[in-house]
Amino acid sequence: MTKVQVLGSGCSKCQITARQVQEVAQQLGRQIELEKVEQPAAIVAMGVLATPAVAIDGKVVHSGSVPSREKIESWLRAAA
Torsion over CA: 44, 48, 54, 57 (sign): negative
pLDDT at 63: 97
In total, the chain counts a number of residues equal to 80
Neighbours of 80 (CB within 10 A): 7
The CATH code of the domain that includes 16 is 3.40.30.10
Q: Are 34 and 80 in contact (CB under 8 A)?
A: no
Residues acting as catalytic residues: 11, 14
- Which structural domain range is residue 72 located in? 2-78
According to the model, what pLDDT value does residue 42 have?
A: 97
List, in order, residues 6 or more apart from 44 with CB less than 8 Å away.
none
In the chain, how many domains are there?
Answer: 1
Question: What is the pLDDT, as a whole number, of residue 80?
Answer: 77
- For the chain, which residues score pLDDT lower than 70? none
